[in-house]
Amino acid sequence: MLVIVLFLLFCSNNLFAQSNKYHVSLNINYSKMDLFTGCSLMSIKKIFDHEFSLYTGTIRTFFQSSFFPMIQYSFNYKVLNKSTYSFSPLISMNIAMLNLKTTKANIHLYPEILIGYKLTYGKKIGIIHKSSIGLLSECFQTQLNETKWASTFSYHFNIGIYYAIN
Amino acid sequence: MRLISGVIFFLFLLISCSKKQDYSKVQLFGHAGMGLSIENSFYHDNSLESIELALSINGCDGVEVDVQMSLDKSLWLYHDPNLETQTDFTGCISSKTDKELENVRYKTFSKEKLIKLNELDFNILKNKTIILDLKNFNYCTSKELDKNDFINALKQLPFVMDSSIKVKIILKEALWLESFIDNEFDILYEANSLEKWNTIIDVYPSIKGLIIKTSKISKSEVQNIHLSNKEVFLFEMRSPNTIREALIKNPDGIISDDLRGAVLEKY
């Protein structure tokens, strides 16, 4: 994990020297834990893109009144970059948080690491599609005050629309 | 900026507006662990991992598990009639020996093992309730199993004797009721309708309670059963809406396929 973070930081330092374009997007993200909806800010480079997203789990938040936020960072390497479309493999790191409170707060954390691909089509306004698979964990304090970890296979299927700011 | 603030304010208003009723007397149970065939379950139903995860979640009062008997008269946890639907093995539990079943694994990412009931860790069951749904049929030979074999196997389980662990038995077969009641097990009768329940309870008044699909019973009918000092447990609920509908009926317990969702709805 540390190697991946260092690699991403190294890439970001190199790439921030390039000319910067930004896209904002609205996304729907179907995953194992919920149907997430949210927005992203993408830093568009010639070869690499960085994407920061904020989501909320629709079922838990809107149908169960329990805010279920998820923060996502994606790093894309464009293997195909034409004027109207692009294709890039991606690596993504997410963390979601759900408070399963009983008589007291009980935070369940859901860290995830995923690999997949991203497709974009459009110019000023366009559509995005991302699919990824990876490993999802759940971490929380048990009734005996021990930290419990559980892990499983996970997936994300994402569609959205973007707007190029500059 | 004003639009974003407005959206955030609306979100918080939406989240904080709902006022929950008091469901403190309703116990929450995980269906076969974290839920039966549900997307957000980390592990396969009836696996050790799924049961342990469910029991470690705050607010979970116990689990319901599906119990089948092998040729060697051991109790195994498995839901479906045939092994090939969920595992890397074929046939029925009741037609297999323990040795054959020992290496069976579910067809999942984690490849969880098929487990015997006595493999459950008693420490995680302390102060919890375990509900055992007995499958009294060999689905491959279409023959009914011997109830006395089940009774003997259940009596050998260490946690049946442990006063800190509550054990309840689900039975669907009316002819099995008398023997289990005579052996002082807490029996929940699984009925398809209230008419069936009323017939059975007249004949076997020692039954502890009814277990029924939540869609088959109303709040007033639950109250009526409570008036006769019997317990009511509801099952088959996955969506937040069905969990809420079940809680409103004020049963003694709900067996949910979305345990996290049930905790969110109860508290």
Tell me if B15 is assigned to some domain. no
Which amino acid is present at B87? Answer: T
* Helical axes B147-155 vs B174-182, angle rounded to 10°: 40
Select the residue from B28, B38, B56 to test the A interface by mutation, using most A Cβ atoms within 10 A: B56
Tell me if B9 is assigned to some domain. no
Residue A17's pLDDT band, with cuts at 50, 70 and 90, is: very low
Q: What is the pLDDT of residues B33-49, one digit of tens each?
A: 999 988 889 999 999 99
Q: Just give the CATH number of A22-164.
A: 2.40.160
Q: Does A105 touch chain B (CB under 8 A)?
A: no
Which range of residues forms the domain containing residue B101?
A: 23-266
What pLDDT is attached to residue A68? 97
Residue B69 in contact with residue B149, Cβ under 8 Å? yes
Residue A129 in contact with residue A159, Cβ under 8 Å? yes
Distance of CA A86 to the CA centre of its chain: 18
Please report, rounded to a whole number, the percentage of residues in chain B having pLDDT higher than 90. Answer: 82
Which amino acid is present at A74? Answer: S
Question: From CA A162, how far away is CA A158, in angstroms rounded?
Answer: 13
Instruction: Tell me the ipTM for this assembly.
Output: 0.86
Beta-bridged to residue A37, according to DSSP, are A28, A56
Judge whether residue A57 has pLDDT over 80. Answer: yes
Question: From CA B42, how far away is CA B53, in angstroms rounded?
Answer: 9
What pLDDT is attached to residue B115? 96
Select the residue from A34, A62, A65 to test the B interface by mutation, using most B Cβ atoms within 10 A: A65
What pLDDT is attached to residue A16? 45
Please state the domain extents for chain A: 22-164
Question: From CA A145, how far away is CA A162, in angstroms rounded?
Answer: 44
Tell me if B13 is assigned to some domain. no
Of B154, B148, B207, B157, the closest CA to residue B179 belongs to B148
Tell me if B14 is assigned to some domain. no
Number of domains in chain B: 1
pLDDT tens, N- to C-terminus, chain B (267 residues): 565 666 665 555 555 555 568 899 999 999 999 999 888 899 999 999 999 999 999 999 999 999 999 999 999 999 999 999 999 999 999 999 999 999 999 999 889 999 999 999 888 899 999 999 999 989 899 899 999 999 999 999 888 878 899 999 999 999 999 999 999 999 999 999 999 999 999 999 999 999 999 999 999 999 999 999 999 999 999 999 999 999 999 999 999 999 999 999 999
Residue A166's pLDDT band, with cuts at 50, 70 and 90, is: confident
What pLDDT is attached to residue B7? 61
Question: Which chain A residues have a beta carbon less than 8 Å from that of B17?
Answer: 65
Q: What are phi and psi of B188, to 5 degrees?
A: -110, 125
CATH number for the domain including B234? 3.20.20.190
Judge whether residue A89 has pLDDT over 70. Answer: yes
Tokens of B169: 């038995």
- Which of B40, B49, B240 comes nearest A64 by C-beta? B240
Question: Which chain B residues have a beta carbon less than 8 Å from that of A64?
Answer: 240, 261, 264-265
Tell me if B16 is assigned to some domain. no
B92 Cα to chain A: minimum distance (Å): 28
Tell me if B137 is assigned to some domain. yes
Question: Which chain A residues have a beta carbon less than 8 Å from that of B47?
Answer: none
Residue A149 in contact with residue B41, Cβ under 8 Å? no
Judge whether residue A2 has pLDDT over 60. Answer: no
A6 Cα to chain B: minimum distance (Å): 29
- For A82, the 3-state DSSP assignment is coil
Q: Which residue has the higher pLDDT, B93 or A4?
A: B93
What pLDDT is attached to residue A15? 46
Sequence-separated (6 or more) residues with CB below 8 Å from residue B249:
B214, B217, B218, B219, B222, B232, B234
Tell me if B8 is assigned to some domain. no
